[in-house]
Amino acid sequence: MVQPLGYLKESASQTAGPYVHIGLTPNFCGIHGVYDKDLGSGPLYSEKAKGERITIRGFVIDGGGNTLKDALVEIWQADADGLYNSPSETRGSADPHFSGWGRCPGDMATGEFVFETIKPGVVPFRDGRMMAPHVTFWVVARGINIGLQTRMYFPDEEEANAADPVLARIEHKSRIPTLIANKDGNSYTFDIRLQGENETIFFDI
């Protein structure tokens, strides 16, 4: 005898809310004893890491031009040789002194995020073409249902950026500058704009 199927109803969507910081950066929130330090905090490299030391800093800005004070940002990138610190990396062994991943909540007073990292090398696209050096960003905050993915490219890599297969797929070329950081010495500024004028390009991955 055929029995009726019980279909599950979709749960209501939830934004990240203020609790994302409690779960991911408890020390930042004043909750101590969970981790010695918040995962992903501090420099992504140790003293023996290869490559150029750089600082990445910026703000997450809403459609009204206001800086979000409760955003949380993660980055993921290759090492100086273009290798990822990941079990799925099959092209070689990544630098053991470089984690390739970091997490930073926005400063409570200013909203600024800061990462101390290494300038990444080039990595292959899935068809074998080389992608320009870049850093992948993941952003979550109150009011964002699903974490937003974007990339930061380097302004001093013009030739590599021009040949990058991902940037080449962007239809509106006038928006590519939203993915290019500003450089000042060994420091790069990358503001992420959620809406409005100069909205950052986000990727569906």
pLDDT, tens only, 108-132: 899 999 999 999 999 999 999 999 9
Question: Residue 127 sits in which domain range?
Answer: 19-193
What's the CATH number where 128 sits? 2.60.130.10
Query: Tokens standing for 120?
Result: 């990444």
Please give the model's pTM, rounded to 2 decimal places.
0.89
What Å distances lie between residue 36 and 26, 28, 40, 122, CA to CA?
10, 11, 12, 34
Residue 126 lies in a domain: yes
Residue 93 lies in a domain: yes
pLDDT above 90: residue 144: no
pLDDT above 80: residue 7: no
Residue 4 lies in a domain: no
Residue 27 lies in a domain: yes
| Three-class secondary structure of residue 144 per DSSP | coil
Please, are residues 21 and 29 in contact by the beta-carbon 8 Å criterion? Answer: yes
**39-94 pLDDT per residue, tens:** 999 999 999 999 999 999 999 999 999 999 889 999 999 999 999 999 999 999 99
Q: What total of structural domains would you count in the chain?
A: 1
| Cα gap 160→57, rounded to integer Å | 22
Of the candidates 94, 159, 164, 167, the one whose C-alpha atom is nearest the C-alpha of residue 124 is: 164
| Three-class secondary structure of residue 167 per DSSP | helix
Residue 203 lies in a domain: no
**pLDDT at 16 (0 to 100):** 63
